[in-house]
Structure formats: C-alpha cells, structure tokens
Chain A
C-alpha cells in the first residue's frame, strides 16, 4: 500500500473511509421489518458504534432502508424520497419480500422484487432478519464503499429511462417532478 500510490488514491481512500463510518439511515418504516430497527439501534445490539444513526428528512440521509414488502401506494412515495436524497446514496433491501416477493407473491397490491424499480446495493434475507444480520448487512455495505463499488446513484441517473418505464407500468397516475440533477 505504501509503494505505488499517487495523490488521487489517497484522497479516494480517505473519502471512502470517512463515508463508510458515518451512515445516516432515513427514519421511514415502510413495512413489517421496521419492528427490528429500534432493537438494532438500542443498547444490546448497538448499531451506533458503527456510526449508524437515524436522520429525519431525505435531504439529510445517506441510506434508504426498505424494510419489507412495498405496496404500489408506498412505491410512489419511496421513489420521490429516493430522488430527493443527494449523492452518494445507498439502498438496502431488507427481508425476503424485496428479493422475490416473499409470501405475498400472489397479492395484487405488493411488488415482487425491488431491483426493477430502484438500484439496490445489499440484500439482507430473512423473515424477519435478526439484528445481527442487519449489522452484517451494513458491514458488507461498508466493504463495498471502501472498494469504490457502491455508486448506484450514478447508475440510476444514467439509466433513468429504464427505471422510469418499469415504474410507470405500475404507477398509473404519474404526477411526479422530473429528475434532472
């Protein structure tokens, strides 16, 4: 590490180091999984020693934690919240409902997989995942940030047409602002 580095590499290393140790999670309980988040943040499983704490508004948050299934009504609000967050931003899919629909695979109101509508960095499986699994999901996200592989905000911006086609197929009354920044 000490032999071949130019100044760009040190800057990247320090930038990723400080980003991974201060992750602010948006306070939005979208589904069932939100019942294990207070347990993760308080005294026994203490996620704050990793630098994880809650944020109140999307403009102040880094991580969007989709805890569980998403109905079509919530998906519209989640997209709006995601587009209000500023880069770099990360999405964690929590629970098996975000992976393939879970036990609500035949419901007319829940989506069957999150990947088509929003870019996802890490999936945590389980129903319901234990607090230790949640922390190990965050540790995996930290490794991705350190290696420079977690830039899905750019991916969303570049492939906006693809995501919009998928989203408009589900959400019929599209009255949302443009995403042009």
Chain B
C-alpha cells in the first residue's frame, strides 16, 4: 500500500496558467489539493501614496493603471466620487458617452476572459479568434481617445472631447459584426463536450454563504442571486435604458460562463439604445483652472459595476488641491484571497488554473 504524503507546490509567479503575477501556495496529496494560500505583492506600486502627491487632475494618469484588463471603470468611479464632493453636474450628452465607453470596455474585457478560460482548458483556437476580434473594439477606442489600452478620457464634469464624425456609425457596424461572431463562439466553446464536462460541478460557490464571503459580480449571479450595481443604485443613464440581468443556478464554473455569455448580448443592446437616444449639447462642465482646483472637505463613496464585479472608491478631501486619501476596492480583493482559499480544498491540481480564470482574479486590484 502506498502512503501518500503531503507535498508543497508553488503555482508561482512564473507560470503559463495564472492570470497575472501572483503566487498560490498549494499543499497537495497525490492529485488533490488539501489547502491553499495566496501570496500577492509582486505588483505593488504604492498607488495610494503616490496619489497623495499629485493634484486632483494629475491623479488620472495613475488611476487607469490600477486594473490592467479594464481601466475605464476606475476613471468613472473616481470622477463620480469627486463630483459628489464638489456638487458638480454632468451634462446629458456626457452621461450617454460615458455609458457607451463603459459597455465597450466590458466587451473587450469579456473577450480577454474568454481567451483565458478556454486557454486554461487546452482549447487554443479560441484565444486566436477572440483576441483578434478584440482588436476591432480597441480600434474604436483609438479613434475616440487616442490610446488602445489606457484612455484617461472620463474627467470629473464630463468627458475630455466629443465623439468624432462617423464614430457612431462605425460602432454600430462593429456591433453587428460581433453579434454574428458570438454565435460562432457558442459553437466552439459552449457546445463543446470537453468544456462542458470540465466545467460542470467544479469550483462551486455555495449560495447561502456567497454574500458573507464578499462575492460580487457574475460569480454572485451564477449562484442565483440577482444583484447588479446598475439596477441597485443606477448611475449615469442606466435607469432610462432597457436591459436584463441574467442569473443562473448552480454556482459552478458552467453557470458563471453562461451568465457572462448572456451579459455581452445585453451590452450590445445597451450600446445600440444609447447611440440612438443620445442628445446634443455640451460634453464637459468646465473646471476653470484644473491645476489649481480645490474640492470641499468631506468623504465620498462611489461604486460601479465592472466586468468582474463591484468597484468602490473611498475619497477623502481636506479642502486642498490634492486628494488627502483615496482607497480603492476591486472585486478581486475578496475573490482572490478569501474565496479562493475556501473553495480550492478538494479540487484537482489541473483545475486550479481553470478556477482562477473563472473567478476573475486580477492581481493588480488586490495589491494596487
């Protein structure tokens, strides 16, 4: 009889199967994980200390780099918190443009998730397709803001510049193209027996403990609880636009993948409505001298829904021209440390990377 002893494995910083630069220390017995612990800190840049040395407007250059796959919700949440402190109104046209930018960011981040999830199951054709199609959305961003990844486009008071001519038609054409491609993605991933057998029954998050563990976003909607910041606390013009929030029962990887699949179709619906109903008018409520702008004292808390879950910003001001304290909470803060350590015991080693991709763990959000 062979006695299996416990070994320590480091799913370390250099590994083709982890999402980013973090380490998961596993204790395994044979092929099964006994316990896990997360080690972060490889990407720590001390953002919150650096923001205290910059103006209210200069902090924008730092904020987008918080979360690398999807930078736009960070800018929007900061802008909303500062507008809350300053009592600044945003024009209607700017609100519609902000909604379009957020939904486009959601779509391109979904395609990156799609590539990672399929790649960790061993299906390598799907990343080639979805990352290739993601370039069309990044082309739209480049026409609008000048950069592919980091935009720095949403300011407190509105947006930086108006949409160029012909951009709205190009967006609608891109949406038609992507809608056709989503049907083809279904055929290769969701109707694929390999993916179904690997994803069903793996990585279950229980429904009665989900909110207590701090689970947010599509992971929470995959357990059957309907919760989304866009309908709980509507911001910008989400209360005037018609869309659904899909939920699934089960709490395993298959349920979360189905939730994300439906959300992208709703995003396309939102963008089409926003482009048809966008009014004319101003796009920026101008701050008179951005470099010497002071914000009244107080504390504000703002939340938005990104593709991974809820993002919250706690901004403190003491009446000066620099932020006194900015503290950011990303969705991965609870998913990557608390939830991961609770659901990994009992799983197979080969499924660890699969579960990491499905929870949407993005290490820069954990350690900023």
Contact = CB atoms under 8 A, between A and B. Distances in A.
B135 A56 contact: no
Contact of B45 (A28, A38, A43, A107): A107
Given A44-B132, A107-B45, 15 more contacts: A26-B14, A28-B13, A34-B21, A38-B131, A43-B129, A71-B44, A73-B42, A73-B44, A74-B21, A77-B13, A77-B42, A106-B53, A108-B49, A128-B147, A128-B149
Q: Is the interface of B mostly helix, strand, loop or mixed?
A: loop
Interface in A47-106: 54, 56, 58, 69, 71, 73-74, 77, 81, 103-104, 106
Interface string B47-61: 001100100000001
Interface string B116-143: 0000000000011101101100100000
A130 interface: yes
B1 interface: no
A104 B45 contact: yes
Interface residues of B, number: 36
B62 to A, nearest CB: 7
14 contacts: A27-B14, A30-B21, A32-B68, A36-B149, A38-B112, A42-B128, A44-B135, A73-B44, A106-B50, A107-B46, A107-B50, A108-B49, A109-B45, A128-B148
A148 interface: no
B149 A28 contact: no
Contacts of B112: 35, 38
A32 B71 CA distance: 11
Nearest to B13: A77
Interface residues of A, number: 34
A139 interface: no
A115 B135 CA distance: 33
B49 A73 contact: no
A133 B345 CA distance: 44
A74 B44 CA distance: 10
A56 B21 CA distance: 15
Interface string A12-28: 00000000000000111
B187 to A, nearest CB: 18
A49 to B, nearest CB: 14
Given A32-B68, A36-B149, A43-B128, A108 B46 contact: yes
A71 B45 contact: yes
B106 interface: no
A43 B128 CA distance: 6
A39 B131 contact: yes
Contact of B150 (A42, A44, A127): A127
Nearest to B134: A39
Leading 4 A-B pairs by shortest Cβ distance: A43-B132, A27-B16, A42-B131, A28-B14
A100 to B, nearest CB: 16
Contacts of B21: 29-31, 34, 74
Contacts of B65: 32
A95 B195 CA distance: 37
B250 interface: no
A108 B112 CA distance: 31
A110 B42 CA distance: 10
A56 B353 CA distance: 15
B149 A35 contact: yes
Given A39-B134, A56-B16, A103 B62 contact: yes
B30 to A, nearest CB: 23
Contacts of A39: 131, 134-135, 138
Nearest to B138: A39
Contacts of A38: 112, 115, 127, 131
Given A30-B21, A81-B14, A110 B45 contact: yes
Nearest to A32: B68
B137 to A, nearest CB: 12
Given A54-B16, A128-B148, A42 B132 contact: yes
Contacts of A44: 132, 135
B69 A35 contact: yes
B291 interface: no
A48 B127 CA distance: 15
Contacts of B46: 104, 107-109
A74 B128 contact: no
B63 to A, nearest CB: 11
B41 interface: yes
Nearest to A36: B149
Given A42-B128, A104-B50, A127-B150, A58 B44 contact: no
B48 to A, nearest CB: 11
A74 B40 CA distance: 11
Contacts of B12: 77
Contacts of B115: 38
Contact of B13 (A54, A74, A128): A74
